[in-house]
Structure 1
Amino acid sequence: MKLTVTTFVTLDGVYQAPGGPQEDPSGGFVHGGWSAPYGDEDFGRFMTGVFEHAEAFLLGRKTYEIFASYWPLHADPADPIASSLNVLPKYVATTTLASADWQNTHLITGDLREEIVALKQRDGKELQVHGSGALVRWLLREGLIDTLHLLSFPVLLGTGKRLFPTDALPTAYALTQSRTTSAGVVLSSYERSGEPEYGDYAEDERV
């Protein structure tokens, strides 16, 4: 399976609490819910398309708890997002949860890298990460992300948890598609292409 990350981010790189004020107010964050005003039909179609490729989910503890408190109560068989999340396997990276009641949930409490590599070696479509900012930062450090769907919202907050760690593994990605919703969200998809290449403009005769 490919490991695919779908993440919401502001123009200044904040990922904290995009869906509502109570998602993550830690650190005195007062801007929760910054993505909600941009959830138009274009955005909904893109997200539905992403979930259609899911084989399993890899989630951080906070995102898992947010999802587990909502989606089991909205189990609409006609909703592809609800159906995927409620039925497909969910693997939770945690050092604090001892048990989980949501259907088909598995806790990863051992060596996280080893477990994820083993999951990626299984047959199937995509092992998807949604939200889970701290987990995504770790995956960037470890170089384990195959596909990155970066949803950039036209808002700048100034404060909040930043997505990209300063110690991320240097990695090159190829842009495979980019579009803009009617509300102004830029939906960009990147595939990992290897290590970055470097050059020098001073030596480039085309410049």
Structure 2
Amino acid sequence: MAELTVTTFMTLDGVMQAPGGPDEDRTDGFAYGGWSVPYVDEEFGRFMDEVFGRVDGFLLGRRTYEIFAAYWPHVTDEDDPVAGRLNSLPKYVVSRTLGTAEWHNSTVLTGDLAEEVDRLKRLPGREIQVHGSARLARSLIALGLVDELNLLVYPVFLGKGRRLFPDGGAPTAFELTGHRATTTGVTIQTYRVAGPARFGTFAPGD
């Protein structure tokens, strides 16, 4: 069975909207697109190569799918660890408005999200990966469907924008299973679901 993993770029205040460019997502008047670009370095590249080295399929929201489909098919280097996998492996697009998905090996999912993800996770393989796809990632987290989170936290505060973690959903504990930092100050944290959140108190006992 495959696991569902989410890899997300986010700011110190949790914003994940439009990390890659000013016109990537201007929803709600967001004017800070491209905030991740100044922090790219070799360590970032190595980590992303590792992530894409484990993937057997992609689960994407419509907007991210359309951004990827407009760019990656034009990167034709088969040795590129990102382009090679995005262009060849199955891509599942969650959308109720997208009629067709023309990018090679793409399928539009229009059914119940939990049922569709359960079906995908029952397929043989290592990881079904979510990249970007803010609304989809929030829904998956709220439904408790994510097995692992890769959070790349950038040393920048924006004060506005779509954030990763939703209100609602079951309180959940996570175990830190990996961490590193890049030369530009990005921390890369990997968490696995560890069960329900636990609670206590610092109040002195009776």
Letter in 1 for 2:70: S
SS in 2 for 1:80: coil
The Cα shift of 1:75 comes to: 2.1
1:168: Cα distance to partner? 3.1
TM-score with structure 1 length normalisation?
0.96
Instruction: State the Cα deviation string for residues 92-142 of structure 1 (Å, max 9, x = none).
Output: 000110001100000001112101101111111000000001001001110
Root-mean-square deviation (CA, aligned residues, Å) is 0.9
In the other structure, the counterpart of 1:58 is 59
Instruction: State the distance in 2 between where 1:190 and 1:137 align.
Output: 16
Deviation at 1:169, TM superposition (A): 2.3
Q: Does 1:105 align with 2:98?
A: no
2:72 is aligned with 1:71:
yes
User: Letter of the aligned partner of 2:170 in structure 1?
Assistant: L
The Cα of 1:61 is off from its aligned counterpart by: 0.3
Partner-residue secondary structure (3-state), 2:180? strand
> What SS class does the counterpart of residue 42 from structure 1 fall into?
helix
Is 1:45 paired with 2:23?
Answer: no
Q: Which letter does structure 2 place at the counterpart of 1:57? A: F
Unaligned segments of structure 1, at least 5 residues: none
Q: Distance in 2 between matches of 1:36 and 1:79?
A: 19
SS in 1 for 2:117: helix
Name the structure 1 match of 2:197: 196
C-alpha deviation, 1:203, in angstroms: 4.6
**C-alpha contact (below 8 Å) 1:3/1:128 kept by paired residues:** yes
Rounded Cα–Cα distance in structure 1 between residues aligned with 2:170 and 2:139: 10
**TM-score (norm. length: structure 2):** 0.97
> Per-residue deviation at 1:170?
1.1
For the pair 1:172 / 2:173, whether they are aligned, the reply is: yes
Runs of 4+ in 1 over 3 A off after TM superposition: none
How many angstroms does 1:200 deviate by? 1.4
- Give the aligned length: 204
